[in-house]
Structure 1
Amino acid sequence: MATPGPVTPEAPFKPSQPPVIEGFNPSVHIHQEGFKEKFLRKTRENPMVPIGCLGTAAALTYGLYCFHQGHSQRSQFMMRTRIAAQGFTVAAILLGLAASAMKSRS
């Protein structure tokens, strides 16, 4: 069984300061991004996701309205449309993630 080598004294931990991690330099943001700014930036990066979300919400809302009115055929059609819109949204998210991964590699 090997004995550990001598322990070098390090600077004491200071809770008021962030930890020092070798090879990591935290970036200091001068301007904190608000919800609206982040939403607009993300929408510009991948505009298909909000379009898919709006389509999903519209199909769901109209389908529930048709169900309430007693139009069962139209309600079923809108629920199937909602599933398609959800699939479109998930595909848009995955394609956006793939595009950002390829962008960060180059």
Structure 2
Amino acid sequence: MSAPGPATPEAPFKPSQPPVIEGFLPTVYSNPEGFKEKFIRKTRENPMVPIGCLGTAAALTYGLYCFHRGHSQRSQLMMRTRIAAQGFTVAAILLGLAASAMKSRS
């Protein structure tokens, strides 16, 4: 068997720059969106999720306040309301996923 010849490097390795891979673009998005733009876009796509999150947070906050003040019946009611709001939020997320899956198929 013959020994393989010396490998000829095509380009020297530069650690300060990303490697060049044929057919691969390092940035998929031409205009990357920030947190605010993404939040607004996602809220417009499915407005029920933020409403459910706010309802959950409000019920939890008020329930903890009532617990601290010693109103145990109202605190229990608010904790049950929080569970309902969480269920609403999960249902909104699932319906939003189903709607986007149906939209992508069309």
TM range (shorter): 0.7 to 0.9
Distance 2:91 2:99 in 1: 12
1:1-106 counterparts in 2 under 5 A? 16-18=19-21, 20=23, 28-106=28-106
Distance 1:19 1:34 in 2: 29
Size of the alignment, in residue pairs? 91
Q: Residue type of the partner of 1:69?
A: R
Specify the structure having the higher radius of gyration (Cα).
2
After TM superposition, give the deviation of residue 29 of structure 1 in Å.
1.8
Distance 2:102 2:27 in 1: 23
| 18 and 73 in structure 1: CA distance in 2 versus 1, 3 angstrom threshold | farther
What TM-score results when the alignment is normalised by the length of structure 1?
A: 0.78
| 27 and 67 in structure 1: CA distance in 2 versus 1, 3 angstrom threshold | same
Structure 2 residue matching 1:83: 3-state secondary structure: helix
* Uncovered stretches (5+) of structure 1, i.e. residues with no partner: 1-11
Structure 2 residue matching 1:17: 3-state secondary structure: coil
What TM-score results when the alignment is normalised by the length of structure 2?
A: 0.78
Distance 1:19 1:67 in 2: 62
Q: Residue type of the partner of 1:17?
A: V
| 18 and 81 in structure 1: CA distance in 2 versus 1, 3 angstrom threshold | farther
RMSD of Structure 2 on Structure 1 (CA): 2.1
